[in-house]
Amino acid sequence: MLSLRLTSLTHLFSPPSSTAIARRSPAILRRRNHHLRPRPLAASFSSQSAAAETQDRVDNSKNRVSDRVITPRSQDFNAWYLDVIANAELADYGPVRGTMVIRPYGYAIWEAIQEFLNVKFKETGHSNMYFPQFIPYSFIEKEASHVEGFSPELALVTIGGGKELEEKLVVRPTSETIVNHMFTQWIHSYRDLPLLINQWANVTRWEMRTKPFVRTLEFLWQEGHTAHATPEEAEKEAIQMIDIYTRFAYEQAAIPVITGRKSKVETFAGACKTYTIEAMMGDKKALQAGTSHNLGQNFARAFGTQFTDESGVREYVWQTSWAISTRFVGGIIMTHGDDAGLMLPPKIAPIQVVIVPIWKKDDEKAAVLNAASSVKDVLLTSGIKVKLDDSDQRTPGWKFNFWEMKGVPLRIEIGPRDVASGSVVISRRDIPGKQGKVFGISMEPSNLEAYVKNKLDQIQSSLLARAIAFRDSNIIDVSTYDDLKAAISQGKWARGPWSASDEDELKVKEETGATIRCFPFEQPQGIKRCLMTGNPAEEVAIFAKSY
């Protein structure tokens, strides 16, 4: 078993590997150790001697590809996650520690996220634009808590074009400062408000502990920035955007996030209020999947962003910012995946249906392939993302496993007997084995199209229902600190009334490893007493360990 478990990640482990990357960058080896559990086999590989075996190793790696096995999720969630990313070809490690290469299959998921959100942003009146990646250090310093929050993570460019720069430049960690600098020049009167913009960009945060998609030195995101004349409008905008994220999470990604407000301790550096969507991953850890900040006038005051209101008075603008990043892709993997690999909600799957033709004898092949490609055409024309795997290198069984591992929601099998009866076999990714398999679905176009669309919808909603059930069975209502500790130690989320101090919040973090994920918008009725102090509390908070 173990000998088959060499994935492309472990493949990178070995210094004398034929891969050019490993040889060139010692940093990669450091990173490997950082990210991965020790793998005895990999170690033995790395002890193999160098260049002479290159050819040999290339061949080995080729065989390995066909026999990829993923660590069972229940056995080691982190190892499972990394295996899925490697085997499903979602991403690869980048050449610099903590960076990653987003491969086409992973990028296509990001594109699906972009397509949905970009339309929603435009519908709500936002325009896209692009700000430079470099920010003068002096900008970052202007807003005190902002610089405090970000300074340890800043990547600084000090040399450009062979010369020392006069002022060091920050590679943007987020763009509030540069945006405000420009807003100050663009906003003059109330007629210029609201100013609603968004950009799709890469940002950099020099994190020490990294994990593909979830936390990388560089990541892709959208960042919205808005300026308003009144605090009410800004608040409304912040809420509107977190609502859009919530809807995206539920309706597209089938992730039942809990939407709420961050505690003061967890609020974005420089914001008055931070709203968040918190998702429960398969290991029950929380993932902050998107945030929307009401910035109040903090940045406006730091940058002098003022407007003349209708009565001619100069006022500071009220602002928001909000973002979703490639981290969301990590959330999708960790919410829906299972032991067989990835499981993608149909609405964001790059491939929604894979067709696997099955033939044994050569004389069957033509008819089967013919039927398969006409099925493909039917689905394509009805707007379904379909892939026909007609390669003759692999057995149908191998293909089943492969596309299951890639998380494709539906599989259509077509064999000679199906061709004869004018029907196909359809299997659901989310229901393993025979239960998920239906025989004898007519190939007749209108029937097939309707059937497939219906099934995709069912899968979409059943993924969501399953995730909701999982989430709800793992949130425990607590009324004392002991309850909370017990819940956290079981790896669950704890929900309980909270009105204690920031110090108490930090104490919880120190003693249990859990933080307040949010004060959910949906609050239970009734009188509440703080689980820590017993004082009256207005809200319940959710505590959990998080990524």
Q: How far is the CB of 236 from other proteins (least distance, A)?
A: 22
Give the three-class secondary structure for 100: strand
Q: How far is the CB of 420 from other proteins (least distance, A)?
A: 31
Q: How far is CA 40 from CA 2, 26, 74, 264, in A?
A: 9, 20, 20, 45
| Per-residue 3-state assignment (H helix, E strand, C coil) for 448-511 | HHHHHHHHHHHHHHHHHHHHHHHHHHCEEECCCHHHHHHHHHCCCEEEEEECCCHHHHHHHHHH
Alpha carbon distance 524, 534 (integer Å): 17
Which residue, chain included where needed, has tokens 């003693």?
A: 511
Q: How far is the CB of 389 from other proteins (least distance, A)?
A: 13
Cβ proximity to other proteins: between 332 and 475 the closer is 332
CB 256 within 8 A of CB 467: yes
Cβ proximity to other proteins: between 275 and 328 the closer is 328
Cβ proximity to other proteins: between 8 and 427 the closer is 8
β-partners of residue 340 are none
Cβ proximity to other proteins: between 1 and 313 the closer is 313
Alpha carbon distance 299, 305 (integer Å): 8
Cβ proximity to other proteins: between 139 and 359 the closer is 139
Cβ proximity to other proteins: between 99 and 479 the closer is 99
Alpha carbon distance 163, 126 (integer Å): 39
Four-CA torsion 384, 390, 394, 398, nearest 10 degrees: 20
Cβ proximity to other proteins: between 146 and 285 the closer is 146
Q: How far is the CB of 532 from other proteins (least distance, A)?
A: 33
β 127-128/218-228 pair status: unpaired
Six-digit token pair at 540? 């319940």
- For 38, counting Cβ atoms within 10 Å of its Cβ (0-12 exposed, 13-18 middle, 19+ buried), the class is exposed
Q: How far is the CB of 67 from other proteins (least distance, A)?
A: 14
Four-CA torsion 442, 447, 449, 452, nearest 10 degrees: -60
Cβ proximity to other proteins: between 151 and 479 the closer is 151
Cβ proximity to other proteins: between 80 and 213 the closer is 213
Q: How far is the CB of 257 from other proteins (least distance, A)?
A: 25
Q: How far is the CB of 136 from other proteins (least distance, A)?
A: 6
Q: How far is the CB of 196 from other proteins (least distance, A)?
A: 10
Q: How far is the CB of 89 from other proteins (least distance, A)?
A: 9
Alpha carbon distance 80, 334 (integer Å): 9
Q: How far is the CB of 125 from other proteins (least distance, A)?
A: 11
Cβ proximity to other proteins: between 8 and 288 the closer is 8
β-partners of residue 198 are 128, 224
Alpha helices (H) in 392-444, listed in sequence order: 396-405, 416-421
- In a 13 Å sphere around the CA of 220, the CA atoms on its Cβ side amount to 15
Give the three-class secondary structure for 395: coil
